[in-house]
Structure 1
Amino acid sequence: MEGVKEVSGDNDEKIFNAPGKQKSKVWTVFGFYKKEGKLDRSRAVCKLCRASLTYTGSTTNLDQHARRRHGQEYIGETRTNEQERTASSSTQPVISNMFAQLGQNSARAKEITASITRFIAKGLCPYNIVEWEGFQDLIHTLEPRYKIPSRNHITNTCMPALYTQVKSQVEKELANAERVAITSDAWTSCATESYVTITAHHITPDWTLNVHVLQTRAFKGSHTGKNIGALLKQACIDWKLFDKEPALVTDNASNMVLAGVEAEMSPHLMCFAHTINLATQKAFKVDTVERLLGRVRRVVGFFHRSVRAAEILQDKQKQLALPIHKLIQDVSTRWNSSHDMLERLLEQQPAISAALMSRDLRRGEEVNTLKDKDFCDVVDIVKLMAPVKLVTTSMCEDKRPTLSMICPVRAKLKKNFEASDEDSAVIREMKQAFRNDLEKRYTGLDDLFYTATALDPRFKSLPFLTDHDAERTFTSITAEATSLHNKVNLPTHCYPLSVLNLFTPWMFLKPKCLLG
């Protein structure tokens, strides 16, 4: 071919690909050698036979060589590379679309935004979590196309929309409820701001106990019974609950008692767990016990304040094969924390004594004021209060009504706190203080308690009552069942009225009878 010099190469020198800007198909089988570190573009080298051809910028002679010498091998190689380039170019729009930002009004973006809003609401997270680097990294990893909304958008748009949606659902459920029980409590935040929370309990047609927090509002005024009662009344108006004859459950504070009267809610019941706490606090206020708790707090506080003492205690626990547990500091307003403190003291007594006697603790002897008799009293107190702790845990049940448990539990506690000849002076005083405080609670509510207990299959025999009181309770329930039967005009087989059939599980369980 004129103007073309073809030279056959027989060396093993490496052939380098043509630069990327070379688009001709011939470069799939042609390349260049390097001279002094640079491509020698004066001659193109065939990768199939290593023939060296003069290259002046035109690829005609290269194409002719490949077709004449290599035929199908050259054509097949060219077609394969063209297919790869075509496939690569066709996937570019797809990849681009995969990582294109989601529109704010797209279904996927709305779904993610709604999920983030629910996450903040259910977790009580701060709104500015959407600005946290870690949270943004998490969302970007899960959905790179999604743009996280601003804090202001969450605050002013998303959260109010979620509140409106949930409120509508709660209103529908409450509208279908026959009776509603309201609970309320006032509390103070870490920022010393006062709030009042109101919740509602009701039983659904399929016998499920539902609980809703109706509102948590800042309370600016004085915490008088009149002010709290007005707040409760307004909440019932806002949620359309007055026609459901709401019952009220609060703690035993005098302002809450007056609030129930002001709100015109009946019956008004006091939280049994809070009642037990008050009675137990009276028992712990006995002079001997209070002084003992003071000495125990002194020991526990020493190990909490001193890093060195805590390290030595842990070493002693390992040496004595005791559980590696920290000592518990009680909270004065929660009796069960005092019980836990004493229980942990007994568990760690050998390690505590060994640690306080260590030469590395200079103040050990000053702190260690507990005597053998003190530990004997601690054992008795823990044993006495163990049933009370079990009752407190049981009464914190939030999945089913607990009003039916008050009478049998109260009767059991009274029996447990009866004086015995084997009691020490300390235990005798504690029992007397506990019983005196417990007996003055819930006056005038016996009939309601007896009815609720009789309707609970676990306690329907009323073993804690005299035969006369039990018979009177059964007669009252039968009369009410008959009244309900006549009122709704149902067939007799739907409401069996014999006393034996009356107490089959939950036969007549109505919110009116069981408000706990």
Structure 2
Amino acid sequence: MVEPGGLGDDMTEEEMRVYEEEQRKIDEYEKEKEMEQRPTRRQMKKRSPMWDHFSEVLVDGMLKFGKCKHCNRDIKAVSEVNGTSALKSHFNTCKYNPHNDKNKNQGTLQVIQGESPSVHKFDPEALRKDIAKMIIVDELPFAFTEKAGFREVMSIACPRFNMPSRRTCTRDVVKVYFEERAKLKLFFKQSCQRVCLTTDGWTSQTQDCYMTVTTHFIDPEWNLHKKIISFFLVKGHKGDDIGKAIEKCLMEWGIKNVMTITIDNASANDGGVGYIRKKMIKTGNSIAEGKYFHMRCAAHIINLIVTDGLKELDESIKRVRAVVRYIRHGPSRITRFKELAQLEKVDSEAFLSLDVCTRWNSTYLMLATAINFEKVFARYEEEDPLYTLDLTSEKGPGIPVDSDWENATKMAEFLGQFYHLTLSVSATLHVTMNQFVMDIAEINVVLEEWADSDDILRKTMAKKMQDKYDKYWGRWHEEVENEKGKGKGKKKEEENVNMFVFAATVLDPRFKLSNFTKLAIEELYGELNGGKAWEAVKTFMHALFEEYKAKYAPSDVSKHVGAPQSEPTQKREGRKLLSRINKKWRVGADGEASMSKSEFEKYLHEENEVNRDDFNILKWWKDNASRFPTLARMARDVLAVPVSTVASESAFSTSGRILNEFRTSLTPFMVQALVCAQDWLRGSITINIEEDEEELLRLEKELIEELGSTNSSKSKASSSKSVCKPSGVVPSCPPPSST
């Protein structure tokens, strides 16, 4: 303010107001100058741990708010008013705070389109475990979690999750392996009565010899399972080495009761099975004194039979293989061949596939598809001059002629029987044992028909294949079944079909010990030897039932079906009346014992089930197990026996992908953990990781058509919306572009 008597006496009100405003600004400026000249106080370091989770928000240079690093919310943080109390209160209630122990069990409401709202709980430990399972099941590298793409996806999907390193993933994978192993081991101890084994060997890229052991069993709910329990390095290939390795594996898993071991026909494998058989007999855990402990791989025997027959058609197969290889050599040839196939109106879903010379089943698939394109090959020969030059050169086998295509047709028809038999015996998701007798009898009928054919080729092929067939399946040696030894000195040429195969047929309620089964056995061995085999099968079944009854039936199963049963009461001495009535009940008027029918006899005397293709034998036994408890236990053991080692061989496909050229440094333990854990986690779900070329081409074609139609519709829409410019008097509109 201006003092009285000063300049203010001569000023107007407006001048006075301006003067005071200017004076105020001068005072503020001088005050700021004075503050700048004062020595500044050093800012104290924030001591509250809350600032590790909040960012400072300054307003006019003064601290006003703290921004939460987890939810980005601003919380008041004025030191004179709020301090850090408000920050701490928010920290303890923040939904996105991973350090909040009080809200660990509180979920977040999650809404997914098309589904009802659900509560989602963030569990980093469960997420880490699932990532380990993903690495196992999908055969991913341990460093997958360190990939930039996956980390970017996870930062959007779950920003609170801290991605594990490759070493952490390795530890998590091993942890999952041990957890799943403990579950399976407990199941074997509590719920599995007896297992069947398959085993085979494999050599890795580093020339290390691995061996796999797979268990097959039926659980109490009558579901068939296969579980790989071991995948380990083998030190030697001798019989004792194989036997000791299997014995060690069984001891680690606590498995004592083994029904059979299915293995191929190598002599070393015979020694290994013999070693395990002796151990089982010594401990009293074998069935039928271990005489039928060894089950020979049916797929391996089929391969031996077919290989002998293919030698007769070697030249024709080479020519068909050569033309298929020529067409598949380049994309332009494939495209032109497909165009000619459309012109010839060849309707075939399958396209040409090149076989692997050592795998007859791939040869069958090659022939089965190639014969459908016979006319297309003839037309392609006219259009491509290099086709003839390449195939008729010095190294070429020549162009297939009519006789070659005729031979290929006959071979495809013939091999089809063995191909479908191989698929039948190689199944792992359903029982194969009960149909095996019928399958090999069917092959015998086909071989006999070809042997009686007027066609020289068919007759020659059937003769060679019949010799190999008879060696393993077609001959019955009565003296082999009569000997009481454990297989000592027994030759492969004098070996019968494993009797458990016939037992599985009898335990099929569609067949039993019926005339149908008898006729099938006679077709298999002939009328004379078939009768001997039939009697041996009946004797074996009764003996097997009595053995199971003695081992597993309750001691008080009386004892007679239909006899009066007393309710459990307190123990009473001298039940003379009950014993006398039971004695009279068992003895008839003629003085001969009139015991009631046994459980096995009751089963045989019941009417057979209708022979349908969709018949579920495991469901039938599940429904009738209470009526036939001893037979049901037999069925659980016998029906679980696999007739081929395909289940074990499938592990080698997995191990080949896991232990590839980029991961050869994996230790044997880690390889076993990955192979076994993958099998346990996948369970019965079959996952095909191989790409189907035909399916990819079809999808690509559909995608191109879809994109083409979309672009065409957009082009038409844009052209219809275009404005026509006037030209002279008559308005004209240029036609839409063809592009």
Q: Which secondary structure does the structure 1 equivalent of 2:130 belong to? A: helix
CA distance in 1, matches of 2:467, 2:100: 69
TM-score normalized with structure 2 length: 0.53
* Aligned-residue offset at 1:273: 1.9
Q: Deviations over 1:220-239 (max 9, x none)?
A: x3433332222112111211
CA distance in 2, matches of 1:229, 1:304: 46
Listed as ranges, the matches of 1:325-474 within 5 Å are 325-359=350-384, 361=386, 363=389, 366=392, 369-418=399-448, 419-441=450-472, 443-460=495-512, 461=514, 462=517, 463-465=519-521, 466=530, 469-470=533-534, 472-474=536-538
Please state if 1:311 is matched with 2:335. Answer: yes
User: Are the equivalent residues in 2 in contact too, given 1:357–1:364 (CA < 8 A)?
Assistant: no
One-letter identity of the residue aligned with 2:599? Y
CA distance in 2, matches of 1:502, 1:320: 55
Please state if 1:174 is matched with 2:188. Answer: yes
One-letter identity of the residue aligned with 1:385? L
* Aligned-residue offset at 1:480: 3.8
* Aligned-residue offset at 1:290: 1.3
One-letter identity of the residue aligned with 1:455? L
One-letter identity of the residue aligned with 1:495? E
Tell me which residue corresponds to 1:477.
541
Tell me which residue corresponds to 2:479.
none
Candidates 261, 264, 289, aligned match of 1:248: 261
Q: Per the alignment, do residues 128 and 438 of structure 1 end up closer, same or farther by CA in structure 2, a change over 3 Å counting?
A: farther
* Aligned-residue offset at 1:338: 0.5
Listed as ranges, the matches of 1:62-461 within 5 Å are 89=74, 97=94, 108-155=123-170, 157-176=171-190, 177-219=192-234, 221-241=235-255, 243-264=256-277, 266=290, 267-286=293-312, 289-322=313-346, 323=348, 325-359=350-384, 361=386, 363=389, 366=392, 369-418=399-448, 419-441=450-472, 443-460=495-512, 461=514
One-letter identity of the residue aligned with 2:366? M
Q: Per the alignment, do residues 163 and 475 of structure 1 end up closer, same or farther by CA in structure 2, a change over 3 Å counting?
A: same
* Aligned-residue offset at 1:512: 4.4
Q: Per the alignment, do residues 332 and 98 of structure 1 end up closer, same or farther by CA in structure 2, a change over 3 Å counting?
A: farther
CA-based RMSD = 3.4
Q: Per the alignment, do residues 338 and 103 of structure 1 end up closer, same or farther by CA in structure 2, a change over 3 Å counting?
A: farther
Tell me which residue corresponds to 2:670.
none
CA distance in 2, matches of 1:324, 1:135: 38
Aligned length: 429
User: Are the equivalent residues in 2 in contact too, given 1:407–1:453 (CA < 8 A)?
Assistant: yes
CA distance in 2, matches of 1:451, 1:138: 56
User: Are the equivalent residues in 2 in contact too, given 1:225–1:257 (CA < 8 A)?
Assistant: yes
* Aligned-residue offset at 1:100: 5.1
One-letter identity of the residue aligned with 1:464? A
Q: Per the alignment, do residues 399 and 502 of structure 1 end up closer, same or farther by CA in structure 2, a change over 3 Å counting?
A: farther
CA distance in 2, matches of 1:484, 1:195: 36
* Aligned-residue offset at 1:295: 1.5
CA distance in 1, matches of 2:178, 2:143: 21
Q: Which secondary structure does the structure 2 equivalent of 1:336 belong to? A: helix
* Aligned-residue offset at 1:390: 1.4
Q: Which secondary structure does the structure 1 equivalent of 2:162 belong to? A: coil
Q: Per the alignment, do residues 196 and 476 of structure 1 end up closer, same or farther by CA in structure 2, a change over 3 Å counting?
A: closer
CA distance in 2, matches of 1:473, 1:502: 20
User: Are the equivalent residues in 2 in contact too, given 1:102–1:109 (CA < 8 A)?
Assistant: no
One-letter identity of the residue aligned with 1:279? I
Identify the structure with bigger relative contact order (alpha carbons < 8 Å, sequence gap 6+). 2
CA distance in 2, matches of 1:324, 1:469: 45
User: Are the equivalent residues in 1 in contact too, given 2:259–2:637 (CA < 8 A)?
Assistant: no
CA distance in 2, matches of 1:317, 1:101: 64
Q: Per the alignment, do residues 356 and 364 of structure 1 end up closer, same or farther by CA in structure 2, a change over 3 Å counting?
A: farther
User: Are the equivalent residues in 2 in contact too, given 1:114–1:158 (CA < 8 A)?
Assistant: yes
Q: Per the alignment, do residues 452 and 103 of structure 1 end up closer, same or farther by CA in structure 2, a change over 3 Å counting?
A: farther
One-letter identity of the residue aligned with 2:316? L
Tell me which residue corresponds to 2:115.
none
Q: Which secondary structure does the structure 2 equivalent of 1:198 belong to? A: strand
User: Are the equivalent residues in 2 in contact too, given 1:455–1:503 (CA < 8 A)?
Assistant: no
Q: Per the alignment, do residues 102 and 351 of structure 1 end up closer, same or farther by CA in structure 2, a change over 3 Å counting?
A: farther
* Aligned-residue offset at 1:153: 0.8
Q: Deviations over 1:443-485 (max 9, x none)?
A: 2345332222111224323131256644553454345435544
CA distance in 2, matches of 1:343, 1:256: 35
Q: Per the alignment, do residues 309 and 137 of structure 1 end up closer, same or farther by CA in structure 2, a change over 3 Å counting?
A: same
Tell me which residue corresponds to 2:17.
none
CA distance in 2, matches of 1:102, 1:140: 18
Q: Deviations over 1:341-369 (max 9, x none)?
A: 10111122222222232146363663652
User: Are the equivalent residues in 1 in contact too, given 2:319–2:399 (CA < 8 A)?
Assistant: yes
Tell me which residue corresponds to 2:699.
none
CA distance in 2, matches of 1:222, 1:415: 42
Tell me which residue corresponds to 1:497.
601
* Aligned-residue offset at 1:172: 1.1
Gaps of 5+ in 1: 5-55, 58-86
One-letter identity of the residue aligned with 1:314? K
Gaps of 5+ in 2: 1-12, 15-23, 26-71, 77-86, 105-121, 281-289, 474-494, 522-529, 562-597, 610-619, 622-627, 643-739
CA distance in 2, matches of 1:337, 1:310: 20
* Aligned-residue offset at 1:113: 0.5
Q: Per the alignment, do residues 477 and 422 of structure 1 end up closer, same or farther by CA in structure 2, a change over 3 Å counting?
A: closer
User: Are the equivalent residues in 1 in contact too, given 2:322–2:391 (CA < 8 A)?
Assistant: no
CA distance in 1, matches of 2:99, 2:155: 12
CA distance in 2, matches of 1:268, 1:239: 21
User: Are the equivalent residues in 1 in contact too, given 2:261–2:295 (CA < 8 A)?
Assistant: yes
CA distance in 1, matches of 2:412, 2:260: 36
One-letter identity of the residue aligned with 1:444? N
Tell me which residue corresponds to 2:712.
none
Tell me which residue corresponds to 2:654.
none
Q: Which secondary structure does the structure 2 equivalent of 1:261 belong to? A: helix
CA distance in 2, matches of 1:169, 1:502: 41
Q: Per the alignment, do residues 365 and 230 of structure 1 end up closer, same or farther by CA in structure 2, a change over 3 Å counting?
A: closer
Tell me which residue corresponds to 1:63.
none
User: Are the equivalent residues in 2 in contact too, given 1:357–1:365 (CA < 8 A)?
Assistant: no
TM-score normalized with structure 1 length: 0.74
Percent identical residues: 20
Shifted more, 114-123 versus 306-315: the winner is: 306-315
Q: Per the alignment, do residues 421 and 203 of structure 1 end up closer, same or farther by CA in structure 2, a change over 3 Å counting?
A: closer
Q: Per the alignment, do residues 440 and 109 of structure 1 end up closer, same or farther by CA in structure 2, a change over 3 Å counting?
A: same
One-letter identity of the residue aligned with 1:351? V
